[in-house]
Amino acid sequence: MSLQDEINIRRTFGIISHPDAGKTTLTEKLLLFGGAIQSAGAVKNNKIKKTATSDFMEIEKQRGISVATSVMAFNYRNKQINILDTPGHKDFAEDTYRTLTAVDSVILVIDCANGVEAQTERLMEVCRMRNTPVIVFINKMDREGRDAFDLLDELEEKLSIKVRPMSWPIGIGATFKGVYNMHRGNLNLFSGNKTQIEKDVVAIEDINDTVLGETIGESFAETLREEVELVDGVYETFDRESYLSGEVAPVYFGSALNNFGVQELLDSFVEISPTPQGRLSDKGFVEPEDNKFSGFVFKIHANIDPKHRDRIAFLRIVSGQFKRNTFYKNIRLDKKVKFANPTSFMASSKAVIDEAYPGDVIGLYDTGTFKIGDTLTTGEEFMYKGIPSFSPEIFKEVQNDDPMKTKQLEKGLQQLTDEGVAQLFIKQPGNRKIIGTVGELQFEVIQYRLKHEYGASCSFMHKPHHKACWMTSDNQDKIDEFVKRKHNNIAYDKDGNPVFLADSPFLLSQAEGDYPEITFHTTSDFKLD
Ligand code: G4P
């Protein structure tokens, strides 16, 4: 197959949701359709349990297991589909944000009773930053939930995206009869039978056809006709281009648990979702068709076995063909590297691959040289942009509890933060180390791993910071002046950029008022603007 053919058959996406909306269940049903797993429960067992908040060892173990399901590839209707798993646990939100840089589209799962929730909004903000195309799946229609029009209004309002329902629910909860697919003109009837593979589909050529009333009852048929008319009046006709540019999200209704609406979703997904897209580098946009290989590392996973210090770096291929045992250049290190055992992730089994193409995610074993954001090329000097760092929400200063192991502590902190477990900021004087995270859990993970993998001991002292802000200005002197004046609240990030550690929203807006020439960013991704 030509490179173009390889690109055309691939679809790489992520499923995102607020915890409990049904992401794991939907992932599993999609894999069942793709024949990638044989039974329900296979993905669920790898899920980080919600109750495990204090049991970080258990979480690390599960994270270890979940390497296998970090990327799940399967074939469906002649397409090779790669699902990138995004941890639902909020303490691992950073992982999710980074994974979103490696997908070309997302499916957003919404619980019909809860609508848009906190984590939904944050994840969608990240998608909006790069105009990632979004398909919405409103789940749990077998349960009592909110009015469909209300849900759509809320999606538009809170997620700043236009929506276009593609199917329309008939009843909800106890009265849920199924969905009418406006796009295809058919009725998909709900039986509540979890094993149903959606064969109960009735073709409805015209919504005024009497067959509608005969199938779902006159009163439901009447409501459906009215609502569909309203939908067609309010929402613009679906236009694939507007979906691909991230402006409009097509919406489907269903019940993942009951395997209802899932095939319909998957069929539309393969029909409309984007093929692997290029990415922006510091030397311009790179198209997937460019026949020189390139890719970037968006995730690093440590082997949890302390006897083997090796790690797996997840590389998203952007352009060209990747080949095993071929020298590629790690641009940051200015060093040629080759890989004897690159792996692909076909569902739960890992296999060594000889080649891979744009859209694919491969696992590269490494002993600690990769950093998140690293770019590999055949020799061209450019770096991919846009693996953002988001401002942490919890800040703690590291205290070295075993001065004999200072070197180990330094190395461990460096490697763990390179892996993206947390962010490291250095404060002067004295090279003090501030760790920033989005969840408490990471501190336990860091402490545990420093002890077991590096033999170093540390404790943490809470710092009262509210946000870390990166700064830009047309006038560098103003930044220098600000850094000098606020030196007590200035630290330096991994790239040596000064960061303002604002102690409260009030102090941040005060700084913004005092220094109108400076823009304060809560993500390091501002270079994309
Ligand atoms: P998540 O990955 O987004 O966190 O959600 P997950 O799939 O784990 O689903 C959360 C809960 O919602 C699960 O129940 C799951 O069975 C249920 N669920 C998912 N889809 C549907 C649906 O379409 N209808 C209904 N009624 N429930 C649904 P749980 O009790 O938390 O877990 P479990 O005991 O079933 O494993």
Q: Atom 36, ligand 1: which residue's CA is nearest? A: 44
Alpha-carbon Rg for the chain in angstroms: 25
Question: Tens place of pLDDT for every residue, the chain, 529 residues?
Answer: 899 999 999 999 999 998 889 998 898 888 888 776 655 555 555 554 444 334 455 555 555 445 545 788 888 999 999 998 787 666 677 778 888 999 999 999 999 999 999 888 888 988 988 899 999 999 999 999 999 999 999 999 999 999 999 999 999 999 999 999 988 888 888 877 655 555 577 777 788 888 888 888 999 999 999 999 999 999 999 999 999 999 999 999 999 999 899 989 999 999 999 999 999 999 999 999 999 999 999 988 876 555 666 788 999 999 999 999 999 999 999 999 999 989 887 655 568 889 999 999 999 988 778 888 899 999 999 999 867 777 888 999 999 999 999 999 999 998 888 888 889 999 998 899 999 988 887 888 889 889 988 899 999 999 999 999 999 999 999 999 999 999 999 999 888 899 999 999 999 999 999 999 999 998 776 543 3
With a 6 A CB cut-off, is 142 part of the ligand 1 pocket?
yes
Atom of ligand 1 nearest to the CA of 88: 4
**Per-residue CA distances from 34 to 16, 144, 266, 529 (Å):** 19, 30, 10, 38
Ligand 1 pocket mutation, candidates 257, 258, 262, 265, criterion most atoms within 8 A of CB: 257
Q: Rounded to 5 degrees, what are φ and ψ at 57?
A: -65, -40
State the CB neighbour count (10 A cutoff) for residue 162.
15
Sign of CA dihedral 357, 302, 91, 73: positive
- Residue 301 φ/ψ region, left for φ over 0, alpha for ψ in the -120 to 50 degree band, beta for the rest: beta
State the pLDDT at residue 482: 97
State the pLDDT at residue 68: 47
Ligand 1 geometric centre to CA of 70 (Å): 20
Atom of ligand 1 nearest to the CA of 26: 7
For residue 367, give both structure tokens: 């002993």
**Per-residue CA distances from 157 to 154, 331, 488 (Å):** 5, 42, 40
Bridge partners (DSSP) of residue 447 are none
Ligand 1 geometric centre to CA of 42 (Å): 14
| 3-state SS assignment for residue 439 | coil
* Cβ–Cβ < 8 Å for 520, 469: yes
Q: Measure the CA angle with vertex 265, ends 264 and 271; round to 5°.
A: 90
| 3-state SS assignment for residue 407 | helix
The residues, any chain, with a CB within 8 Å of residue 258's CB and separated by 6 or more, are 142, 190, 192, 193, 194, 196
Domains of the chain: 3-68+81-272 (3.40.50.300), 279-377 (3.40.50.300), 394-521 (3.30.70.3280)
Sign of CA dihedral 360, 263, 160, 164: positive
- Residue 185 φ/ψ region, left for φ over 0, alpha for ψ in the -120 to 50 degree band, beta for the rest: left
State the pLDDT at residue 187: 86
Please state the pTM of the whole predicted model. 0.85
Q: Atom 9, ligand 1: which residue's CA is nearest? A: 22
Bridge partners (DSSP) of residue 165 are 251
Ligand 1 pocket mutation, candidates 15, 16, 23, 25, criterion most atoms within 8 A of CB: 25
Q: Measure the CA angle with vertex 164, ends 159 and 167; round to 5°.
A: 120
Bridge partners (DSSP) of residue 284 are 281
Look at residues 270, 66, 223, 247 and name the one whose alpha carbon lies nearest to residue 164.
Answer: 247
The residues, any chain, with a CB within 8 Å of residue 161's CB and separated by 6 or more, are 124, 128, 134, 155, 246, 247, 248, 249
State the pLDDT at residue 42: 53
Q: Looking up tokens 């979890």, which residue turns up?
A: 194
Q: Which residues of 303-318 are buried (b: 16+ CB within 10 A; e: fewer)?
A: ebeeeeeebbbbbbbb
For residue 235, give both structure tokens: 């929402």
The residues, any chain, with a CB within 8 Å of residue 402's CB and separated by 6 or more, are 409, 456, 457
Residue type, 427: K
Q: Looking up tokens 């200015």, which residue turns up?
A: 334
* Cβ–Cβ < 8 Å for 293, 380: no
Q: Atom 24, ligand 1: which residue's CA is nearest? A: 140
* Cβ–Cβ < 8 Å for 347, 31: yes
Distance CA 171, CA 177 (A): 6
The residues, any chain, with a CB within 8 Å of residue 169's CB and separated by 6 or more, are 138, 141, 148, 176, 178, 179, 253
With a 6 A CB cut-off, is 22 part of the ligand 1 pocket?
yes
With a 6 A CB cut-off, is 255 part of the ligand 1 pocket?
yes
Residue type, 241: E
Bridge partners (DSSP) of residue 500 are 469, 490
Distance CA 188, CA 170 (A): 10
Q: Atom 17, ligand 1: which residue's CA is nearest? A: 22
Instruction: Report CA 195 to chain centroid distance, whole Å.
Output: 29
Distance CA 218, CA 276 (A): 46
For residue 210, give both structure tokens: 């009497």
Ligand 1 geometric centre to CA of 17 (Å): 12
With a 6 A CB cut-off, is 87 part of the ligand 1 pocket?
no
Look at residues 182, 159, 177, 169 and name the one whose alpha carbon lies nearest to residue 235.
Answer: 182
With a 6 A CB cut-off, is 139 part of the ligand 1 pocket?
yes
Helix-helix angle 23-33:262-272, to 10 degrees: 70
Ligand 1 geometric centre to CA of 113 (Å): 13
Residue type, 157: E
Helix-helix angle 406-418:441-449, to 10 degrees: 130
Find the DSSP H helices in 130-184.
148-159
